[in-house]
């Protein structure tokens, strides 16, 4: 069935680059179309009506004309700028991470409304949340589930035995926890504390409305982040640029969000 000549869609700007003398090439993630690439003609001109509507992380309503090679954005109307994300370097970096992660896990025109809603909600949370690390961990677990890579946290991935409340091992290769009797099945499996297992399960099985009040110690945040980043890196077979920048930003500015709490 041939595509329509024009279509309306709401989308979030994932990437942008200069194109020609005055245009921008945008990578968008749309609820209806999935990931698409389109040209915003004249968007780099100060007087363009599109200027201010097609910036990174913005949620915008587009009218797009289909093209032979690339689609053309003919109209753009801002829906949500996520201003809090744009006005703070740390929040901007977390937003860049969320966007890059989704970009790596999705193919062009692969529709996933759940992922679109997750990204939109996460950008809104990053604009205001005090604990951006908690937002990031919740986002990672939800994205993994929606992409078909949900880690197994309730049963051993080797023998299917129920995971008990004790220290375990996490296998990125096998995609979940290994019980004490099976951890040698993957010699690269990472030790994970009983407390981290409990928090991961809680984040995986509860809504944001429930988990947003959770307060974690810095050491717990570090353990969770390291485990999930190792798993994501194993799946993607690459490190994300935004992760390196975020780590450098923390080291140089000593910006680490949540205080230690019981």
The pairing of beta strand 34-40 with beta strand 176-178: unpaired
Same domain membership, residue 126 and residue 35: no
The pairing of beta strand 34-40 with beta strand 71-80: parallel
Q: What is the pTM of this model?
A: 0.90
Mean pLDDT within 243-248: 80
- Choose between 33 and 119: higher pLDDT: 119
Same domain membership, residue 195 and residue 121: yes
Same domain membership, residue 222 and residue 164: yes
Cα 12 from Cα 29, distance rounded (Å)? 5
Instruction: Please check whether residue 228 lies inside any domain of the structure.
Output: yes
pLDDT tens per residue across span 139-176: 999 999 999 999 999 999 999 999 988 899 999 999 99
Mean pLDDT within 98-120: 94
Confidence of residue 257 (pLDDT cuts 50, 70, 90): very low
| Helix-, strand-, coil-residue percentages of the chain, each rounded to 5 | 40, 25, 40
Instruction: Please check whether residue 238 lies inside any domain of the structure.
Output: yes
Same domain membership, residue 36 and residue 157: no
Instruction: Please check whether residue 1 lies inside any domain of the structure.
Output: no
- pLDDT surpassing 50 at residue 252: yes
Structural domain for 63, as ranges: 6-81
Mean pLDDT within 25-53: 82
Write down the residue that tokens 């099945």 correspond to: 185
Same domain membership, residue 121 and residue 235: yes
pLDDT tens per residue across span 185-202: 999 999 999 999 999 999
Same domain membership, residue 133 and residue 242: yes
What's the total number of domains in the chain? 2
Model pLDDT, residue 261? 38
Instruction: Please check whether residue 259 lies inside any domain of the structure.
Output: no
């Amino acid at each position: 069935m041939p595509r329509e000549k024009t279509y309306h869609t709401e989308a979030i700007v994932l990437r942008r680059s200069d194109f020609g003398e005055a245009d921008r090439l945008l990578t968008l993630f749309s609820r209806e179309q999935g990931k698409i690439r389109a040209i915003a003609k004249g968007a780099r001109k100060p007087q363009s009506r599109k200027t201010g509507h097609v910036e990174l992380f913005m949620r915008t309503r587009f009218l797009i004309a289909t093209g032979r090679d690339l689609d053309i954005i003919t109209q753009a109307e801002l829906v949500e700028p996520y201003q809090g994300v744009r006005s703070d370097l740390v929040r901007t970096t977390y937003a860049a991470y969320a966007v890059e992660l989704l970009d790596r896990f999705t193919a062009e025109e692969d529709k996933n409304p759940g992922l679109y809603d997750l990204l939109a909600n996460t950008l809104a949370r990053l604009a205001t949340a005090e604990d951006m690390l908690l937002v990031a961990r919740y986002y990672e677990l939800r994205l993994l589930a929606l992409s078909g890579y949900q880690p197994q946290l309730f049963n051993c991935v080797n023998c299917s035995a129920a995971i008990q409340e004790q220290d375990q091992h996490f296998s990125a290769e096998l995609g979940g926890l290994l019980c004490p009797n099976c951890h040698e099945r993957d010699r690269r499996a990472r030790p994970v504390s009983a407390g981290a297992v409990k928090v991961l399960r809680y984040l995986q099985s509860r809504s944001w409305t429930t988990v947003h009040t959770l307060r974690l110690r810095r050491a717990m945040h570090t353990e969770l982040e390291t485990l999930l980043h190792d798993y994501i890196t194993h799946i993607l077979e690459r490190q994300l640029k935004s992760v390196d920048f975020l780590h450098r930003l923390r080291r140089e500015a000593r910006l680490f969000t949540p205080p230690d709490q019981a």
